Amino acid sequence: MSAIINSPLFGILLSLVAFEIGTAISKKWKYSFLNPLLIANVLIVGFLLITGISLESYNVGGNYIAVLLSPATVVLAVPLYRQISNLKRYWKPILAGIFAGSMTSMLCVIFVSKLIGLSETLMLSLLPKSVTIPMGSVIAEQIGGIPPVTIIAITITGITGAVTAPAVCKFCRISHKVAQGVAVGTASHALGTTRAMEMGETQGAMSSLSIGIAGLFTAITAPLLLAALF
């Protein structure tokens, strides 16, 4: 039995089964908070706790799925290519919006961390919470954060964005499709982009564009921001 648990197949199958269950539940009840990834995370954690299987055993196969995150993110360039006309037309406000969103995210982390007394290490770990996991974990390591904590923060941020994106856009009266996509992608990276694609092709394309540029902005400005403030 231990040979099966410690094989890559176990982590991969557990992840796929949990996600399929999450997808089925999400399609059946259609509530925004029933995000398939959120349900899958809860199911996997619950299963590991109940069975006593270690996280290390799960990660033998789970890490194979994590490797696919980078190429999966690159695939998001396909809808962007289809919306190249909007990119050419609105490139200035798009870049301004992504930069403003990235800066706001980092400044909020710094302000709240100081307000509630988080340690500097935790603050640095949370700083790149709005970029994709491959980029965020590297940024966190470079500025002195803890990559595993960053990964958790990025996952929570993405799920939150995927669940709340339509409601937030409606509440803030963001009606322009390009603006909606930029807002979702900048704030909640790839997971939010999956929801943006459900909102429309334009939103999905602009959101996928925002992922890469927001990551680049964060990688460049995070060390400069920290140097200026501390």
Whole-structure pTM value: 0.80
Instruction: Quickly count: other Cβ atoms within 10 Å of residue 227's Cβ.
Output: 8
Of residues 103 and 61, more confidently modeled: 103
In a shared domain, residues 136 and 212: yes
219 pLDDT band, cuts 50/70/90, is: very high
Most confident of 27-41, 108-122, 184-198: 108-122
82: pLDDT strictly greater than 80: no
Q: CB–CB of 130/188 below 8 Å?
A: yes
In a shared domain, residues 99 and 209: yes
> What average pLDDT does the structure give for the chain?
88
**Once rounded to an integer, what is the mean pLDDT over residues 22-46?**
88
- Pick the last residue of a domain from 17, 35, 67: 67
In a shared domain, residues 93 and 195: yes
Percent of the chain scoring above 70 in pLDDT: 95
69: pLDDT strictly greater than 90: no
In a shared domain, residues 62 and 81: no
- Pick the last residue of a domain from 67, 97, 115: 67
pLDDT (tens digit per residue) in 127-184:
999 998 888 989 999 999 999 899 889 989 998 998 899 899 999 999 999 999 999 9
In a shared domain, residues 89 and 132: yes
In a shared domain, residues 151 and 59: no
Domain range enclosing 42: 2-67
What was the pLDDT predicted at 179?
A: 95
In a shared domain, residues 23 and 101: no
In a shared domain, residues 8 and 89: no
In a shared domain, residues 43 and 131: no
In a shared domain, residues 80 and 160: yes
* Number of compact structural domains in the chain: 2
pLDDT (tens digit per residue) in 10-23:
999 999 999 999 99
What was the pLDDT predicted at 133?
A: 86
- Pick the last residue of a domain from 67, 91, 112: 67
pLDDT (tens digit per residue) in 195-217:
898 899 899 889 988 988 899 89
In a shared domain, residues 20 and 102: no
Of residues 185 and 4, more confidently modeled: 185
What was the pLDDT predicted at 23?
A: 92
**Once rounded to an integer, what is the mean pLDDT over residues 47-71?**
84
In a shared domain, residues 6 and 110: no
